[in-house]
Amino acid sequence: MKQNKIKFGLKIDLRTLAILIGFSAVAVGITYILYTYTQTLLKQRLQERIIAIASTAATQIDFKDVERVRSVDDLASSSLKKLVDQLNAIKAANKNLRYVYIMRRTNDPLVLEFVADAEMLATEEELDTNGNGIVEDEESTPLPGDPFEIADYPVLLNEAFYHPAADRDLEKDQWSVQMSAYAPIHNASGDAVAIIGIDVIVDDFLILTRATLLPFLLFVLFLVFALVLLTLLLVRVWSEKVEAVKELDRQKDELISIVSHQLNTPVTSLKWELEMLTDGDMGKFNDEQIETLKGMQNITANLADLVGMILDVSRIQLGKMKISMQELDLQKFFEEILNVIDPKAQQQSVEFIKNIPHKLPTVFLDKRLTRMTIENLLSNAIKYTKKGGKVVLDVRIDSGKLFCKVKDNGCGIPKKDQSQIFGKLYRASNVRNNVDGNGFGLYIAKGAIESQDGKIWFESEENVGTTFFIELPLRNHPDTDDHDTH
């Protein structure tokens, strides 16, 4: 894996980097959610507070005064004066109240009509909040009957005329951040004749939310830092463990390779010596002695096969499967195989059908590996088929490839075992306890065929039968003679 070296000399691979970025993104996401949630909660509390102020204020206003004030002509009326006094009293009683005003509905649902506000009767000096001697537009107060567009205030469209309500969002101007709340003013029969609105300065709310954000940010920083450290630590421990396991595995493969190599020589000599004895090269033996010697010969042959298999397995494991391409007369090659397999089929009372072309070419293949594979497939087909069953071998040469098909109507391979059947030492659950075997054969067969650039696969159904397929590219010259697979 590609390694990036970061400044302080720590090695970090791309996967670790991705994990760290993922962690950080999650941490930032959690903070954002917590922050927004806290902000929403605080905003709700604020809304409740200012809604309560607006509701109380609405109960203090006499609706008759509101109804009497209609236009600029009512500026000098006693009702307006009373309303303005009441609005100023409300303002004085509540800290941070910036504006208090009354508005009523008009025939146009998007336009309200101004009735009064606390500053309505203020002198010019009182209105000049900037203190620059001029009452600017934003400092001046509207007059009774002035229209007020409500398109930007959804709460005013209807809601505020039914029950006290507050704006969803804060509003910011050059002086402060505010939130507005409204409550209906009812007449004697309970109808809303107008609303009272209050704008409350909420700068302290912002200070509070910012203050809550800081601990959150610190928490996230700490979290990310802790996660980074933890991940790096875990990755380090994990890769050390993986390396250690790999090394152990390699040492085990080496050991198996050495042991099987060492065993191979004495077992082969033993085989020859026994053969010499049974052939009578060292004097005559009686029939009983010869029978015993033949038994020993069989055992030694099996032992030699097993050692050979272990050797092949360790070669495949170490990526050192030796391929030795040699000229091969396919006709003779299959005859030799049949000489071994025919007696096995007879012994097991299995019908063995061979569809082999009469003329086969001479090609270059690794004889030992190819023969071992085909013999293994045929032996398995016979071994896993009941007496009276049938095994068919089809051989075909096509487009420079050798195709072999070994089909039986035996016990089949259960679905759940099929994906592992080429694995080392793997035996299917339906034969594990009732048919002899060691699970090396197919593992080696796969290694043997694939190391010659061929393919091996199968189709099987439990209790119906199995078909193994081999496809081997043929060469008519030894171009890849003697090489190791890696």
- CB nearer ligand ADP, residue 197 or residue 441: 441
The number of helix segments (H) and strand segments (E) in the chain equals 11, 18
Give the interface size with ligand ADP as a residue count (CB under 6 A): 21
Binding characters for ligand ADP, 425-454, by CB under 6 A (x = yes): --xx--x-----xxxxxxx-----------
Q: Which of 31, 376, 451, 452 binds ligand ADP (CB under 6 A)?
A: 376
Separation of alpha carbons 228 and 234, rounded Å: 10
Separation of alpha carbons 418 and 459, rounded Å: 9
32-45 burial, b for 16+ CB within 10 Å, e for fewer? eeebeeeeeebbee
The answer for 425, left when phi > 0, alpha when psi is -120 to 50, beta otherwise, is left
Question: Which 398-417 residues touch ligand ADP, going by CB under 6 A?
Answer: 408, 410-413
**Which amino acid appears at position 453 of this protein?**
D
- Taking the complex as a whole, the smallest distance from the CB of residue 260 to ligand ADP amounts, in Å, to 17
- Taking the complex as a whole, the smallest distance from the CB of residue 474 to ligand ADP amounts, in Å, to 25
Separation of alpha carbons 435 and 385, rounded Å: 11
Tokens matching residue 470:
């081999």
- CB nearer ligand ADP, residue 98 or residue 354: 354
Q: Which of 350, 404, 421, 448 binds ligand ADP (CB under 6 A)?
A: 421
- CB nearer ligand ADP, residue 127 or residue 306: 306
Binding characters for ligand ADP, 81-110, by CB under 6 A (x = yes): ------------------------------
Q: Which of 380, 409, 451, 452 binds ligand ADP (CB under 6 A)?
A: 380
- CB nearer ligand ADP, residue 97 or residue 431: 431
CA 213, 215, 221, 224 torsion-angle sign: negative
CA 102, 105, 110, 111 torsion-angle sign: negative
- Taking the complex as a whole, the smallest distance from the CB of residue 378 to ligand ADP amounts, in Å, to 9
Separation of alpha carbons 378 and 392, rounded Å: 9
Secondary element (H or E) of residue 394: strand 390-398
Q: Measure the CA dihedral 404/407/412/417, to 10°.
A: 10
Hey, which residues does 148 pair with through a beta bridge?
112
Q: Are 91 and 117 in contact (CB under 8 A)?
A: no
- Taking the complex as a whole, the smallest distance from the CB of residue 441 to ligand ADP amounts, in Å, to 3
Question: Which 247-286 residues touch ligand ADP, going by CB under 6 A?
Answer: none
- Taking the complex as a whole, the smallest distance from the CB of residue 432 to ligand ADP amounts, in Å, to 7
- CB nearer ligand ADP, residue 374 or residue 428: 428
Q: Which of 79, 180, 452, 466 binds ligand ADP (CB under 6 A)?
A: 466
- Angle at which helices 367-383 and 441-450 pack, to 10 degrees? 140
- Taking the complex as a whole, the smallest distance from the CB of residue 221 to ligand ADP amounts, in Å, to 57
Q: Which of 381, 402, 472, 474 binds ligand ADP (CB under 6 A)?
A: 381
- CB nearer ligand ADP, residue 103 or residue 442: 442
- Taking the complex as a whole, the smallest distance from the CB of residue 415 to ligand ADP amounts, in Å, to 12
If you write DSSP's letter for every residue of 118-144 in order, what string do you get?
A: TTTT--HHHH-TT-SSS--TTTS---T
- Taking the complex as a whole, the smallest distance from the CB of residue 263 to ligand ADP amounts, in Å, to 19
- CB nearer ligand ADP, residue 398 or residue 436: 436
- Taking the complex as a whole, the smallest distance from the CB of residue 250 to ligand ADP amounts, in Å, to 23
Tokens matching residue 351:
């019908």
Residues 6+ apart with CB under 8 A from 414: 428, 429, 430, 462
Separation of alpha carbons 84 and 74, rounded Å: 12
Tokens matching residue 10:
């720590």
Options 210-218, 299-307, 380-388, 478-486: segment touching ligand ADP (CB under 6 A): 380-388
Question: Which 172-201 residues touch ligand ADP, going by CB under 6 A?
Answer: none
**Residue numbers at the binding site for ligand ADP (CB under 6 A):** 376, 380-381, 384, 408, 410-413, 421, 427-428, 431, 437-443, 466
